[in-house]
Amino acid sequence: MNFRVDVWEGARIALSSLRSNRLRTVLTTVGIGVGVCTLLAIVGIIQGLNSSFAEQLGRLGSNTLQVAKFPWVMNGDWWEYRNRKDLTLDLVPALRNASEHVVAVAPTYFESAEVSFQERKLNSVLTLGTSPDYLMTSSIEMSAGRFLTDADVDNRSAVAVLGAEVVKVLFPGINPVGHRVLVDQRPYRIVGTMVERGTVLGQNMDMQVITPYPAFRGQFGSKRSPNLVLAVDSQDNIPVVQDRLTEALRRERNTRPGAPDDFAINRPDQLAGIYKQLTGALYGAATGVGLITLLVGGIGIMNIMLVSVRERTREIGVRRALGARKHTIILQFLMEAASVSAVGGAMGTAVGMGIAWLVNFLTPLAARVDPVTVAAGVGFSAVVGLLFGIWPAARAANLDPVEALRHD
């Protein structure tokens, strides 16, 4: 009962003191608010980037592997990778039979090409030559028509599947299925269109044209190394499949025992590791800046509270003379510090969320703030107030009542 009375009375006195020193309260609130705002904006941007990166990796396919001549991350000399033997289509059956967990293998060729329809034209469109299995190794969904078939591959058919942005620019208001589009001046009959996929690691996945690989090789040349994209039945089986693929590739390419692999097996989760390495130091530094700013705000609270103790020394002496106990005085000043800090934290949280939203809306950077982060921002600011208010509160409680009463 006494504790509840102390809390109620301490809150009333704390709020009265804050109202009587409005300018000081506002300045202190702004100080802690800037710290929380900075920290929350940084955390919001970091969370948004992490979420965006994870989403983009998901579009690559969490249960896929890509066998290529070049690794996604080159640790050695570029010429070493350049001088490797090219991959060939003869490897497809061997990779498909390397493990029972492999469900699809799609040879894939890439070229940047001009795509046009009538007077409309698009430059630098990513053109892929692949097989029907590519549908299983990617996140493609069809919006109209169909995807490639085995008959398209066997007959070297000049057919194409268009990305959403290609359709939007070249065929506004028109269903493109059945029309012919020119890919570097060669006509392809459109058999299907893809659902919008967005951007993955800087690559616009909607600026694509997909064709059967025999037609692609006939137009752009057959002396090039394909990427062999595999789909695995479960993400848990990827390590086992990778080991089997390594054995099959070394055997098929006659790699000498003890010699290093002359191919690369790329996995989407490798990009996640690289992302953490590249951004870990940046995130640490950015978060450190936010925490330092918050520390400065906490020191400001401590300074103001010490001034408040000095100004109210006589009041403290009167309260102690009338029977107020030490913990009552401590509680009063702690509640005052926590109130200022919590209000500043709430203001900083609102501004920080606004900054994160503006960054997300006005720039390519993704930013989002979780509700848990919002609550943590306000709660953490209150904790900062309590921590930096302990010394002033203890100093106030330990004042000698007689000396305090003599203070002018």
- Domain boundaries along the sequence of the chain: 2-56+272-406, 85-262
Q: Are 30 and 340 in contact (CB under 8 A)?
A: no
Q: Are 329 and 397 in contact (CB under 8 A)?
A: yes
Please, what's the largest Cα pairwise distance for the chain? 104
pLDDT tens, per residue, the chain with 408 residues: 455 555 555 556 656 666 666 666 677 777 777 777 777 777 777 777 777 776 666 666 668 888 988 887 777 677 777 888 888 899 999 999 988 999 999 999 999 999 999 889 999 999 999 999 999 888 788 999 999 999 999 999 999 999 999 999 999 988 999 999 999 999 999 999 999 987 776 678 899 999 999 999 999 988 888 999 999 988 888 889 989 999 999 999 888 888 888 888 888 777 766 677 666 777 777 777 777 777 777 787 787 777 777 777 777 777 777 767 777 777 777 777 777 777 777 787 777 777 777 777 776 666 666 677 677 767 777 777 778 777 777 777 777 766 666 665
Q: Are 69 and 81 in contact (CB under 8 A)?
A: yes
For residue 117, the cross-strand partners are 120
Q: List alpha helices for 312-370, DSSP H.
A: 313-321, 326-362
Q: Are 177 and 227 in contact (CB under 8 A)?
A: no
Place of tokens 């752009």: 220
| Both tokens assigned to 106 | 């799609």
Residue 1: predicted pLDDT: 46
| Both tokens assigned to 53 | 């990166």
Using a 10 angstrom Cβ sphere, with 0-12 exposed, 13-18 middle and 19 or more buried, the burial of residue 283 is middle
The per-residue DSSP string of 254-281 comes to: TPPTTSPPSSEEE-HHHHHHHHHHHHHH
